[in-house]
Amino acid sequence: MYICNPIFSIKKKKILFSLILITLAFLLFQGTIAEALCIKDNKANLRQGPGKHFKKQWTVFKYMPFKQLGKKGNWIKVRDLEGTIFWVYKKLITKKYMCAVIKNDKTKLRQGPGTKFPEVEWSPIDKFFSMKVLKIKNSWVHVEDSVGDRAYVYRPLVWIQ
């Protein structure tokens, strides 16, 4: 005959409930804090802190992707593909579309989704070249640069946000 220990059942329920709460909190935290965003203006200055009085660390161009980490007033705290943290002015970014940045120098861009397609005229390109993502199909990404030129790039060669 099996006798259920009511104290053991309560402890198990409390542990299970706690694990569910922790998991939900983690998922909510991840979804609201680490959001993808892109630079929407032709260029943007990235700063050490949230304000124009902070040192400019890098100037990036249209379609540069970032992960949003936080916010202070009109300034957004972001992380780039290498994990470096910056601050960018809120009006320079958008979440309306995805962007990609090249991970390595001498990356080939193609006229179609595969290595059988020839390279575009402006290929190869170097690390940190940013583009708007038009479509992702299997292992290939259809992209557009800031002047409207389009190409395909092999998915593992870009960081997409």
pLDDT at 2: 55
The label of the residue with tokens 């409390």 reads 14
Residue 159, phi-psi category: left (phi > 0), alpha (psi -120 to 50), beta (remainder): beta
Reported pTM? 0.77
Q: Are residues 89 and 39 in the same domain?
A: yes
Given a cut of 50, whether residue 17 has pLDDT beyond it is yes
pLDDT at 115: 96
Q: Are residues 151 and 104 in the same domain?
A: yes
What's the structural domain count of the chain?
3
Q: Are residues 122 and 107 in the same domain?
A: yes
Kindly tell me the sign of the dihedral angle through the C-alpha atoms of 137, 30, 72, 52: negative
CB atoms inside a 10 Å sphere around CB 92: 19
Q: Are residues 85 and 113 in the same domain?
A: no
Q: 29 is in which domain, residue-wise?
A: 1-33
pLDDT at 23: 47
Q: Are residues 63 and 74 in the same domain?
A: yes
Q: Are residues 106 and 156 in the same domain?
A: yes
In sequence order, the 6+-apart residues with CB closer than 8 A to the CB of 96 are 40
Q: Are residues 41 and 17 in the same domain?
A: no
Q: Are residues 104 and 154 in the same domain?
A: yes
CATH number of the structural domain spanning residue 147: 2.30.30.40
Q: Is 78 exposed, middle or buried (0-12, 13-18, 19+ CB in 10 A)?
A: buried
Residue predicted with more confidence, 17 or 153: 153
Given a cut of 60, whether residue 102 has pLDDT beyond it is yes
Q: Are residues 130 and 103 in the same domain?
A: yes
Percentage of residues in the chain having pLDDT higher than 90: 78
Q: Are residues 130 and 118 in the same domain?
A: yes
Question: End of a domain among 43, 74, 94?
Answer: 94
Angle (CA) 60-108-61 rounded to 5° is: 10
Q: Are residues 70 and 42 in the same domain?
A: yes
pLDDT at 31: 42
Residue predicted with more confidence, 15 or 138: 138
pLDDT at 10: 67
What digits encode the pLDDT tens for the residues 23-46?
Answer: 444 444 444 456 899 999 999 999
pLDDT at 5: 57
pLDDT at 55: 97
